[in-house]
Structure 1
Amino acid sequence: MSELNKFDLDRSAERAWAAFQRRLADYVAAMDGDDVLVVELGGVDQTRGSAPYAQFTVQGTDLIRGEVTSNAYLAPAYVL
């Protein structure tokens, strides 16, 4: 059996997402002051609208605000 046939894509994706979630949670938990974190899809022509993104900002001493792109701003290819 080849290495490709042994590869479990679902399991690999689940592990990658879990690792991303942990790193994101750690980073957001450590944010302070005027920190801003934007997670966005790169390499997109934005002349017709925005690429999907999530943005996190610190507000005060104990609040972090998260927001994601709405359909009103997304490029047509990304509208839900």
Structure 2
Amino acid sequence: MLTPEVVMDLFAEAFYLTILMLLVIIGPGLIVGLIVSMFQAATQINEQTLSFLPRLIVTIISLMIAGPWLLTKFMDLFNRLFSSVPSLIG
């Protein structure tokens, strides 16, 4: 049966997966952006593309490395939700 507790558990699991995906994709780019910003501050180079390109490259590489794992986690959640629909409805 679809009780408020079950809905909150489903929402919490989906929210956790969303946060995990964001951290895996955006986290390395943020770290590289911070390192490049510190380098720019130390050398007084104020070039906008200097910080954009390394973050883009690191984000793409992290997607290539962690993409299959993230897709597996997402598909596991979807399969679990899809298979539990009959028990949640009736």
Tell me, yes or no, whether TM beats 0.5. no
Q: Compute the TM-score of the two structures, normalised by the length of structure 1.
A: 0.32
Q: Compute the TM-score of the two structures, normalised by the length of structure 2.
A: 0.29
**Structure with greater strand share of residues:** 1
Larger-Rg structure = 2
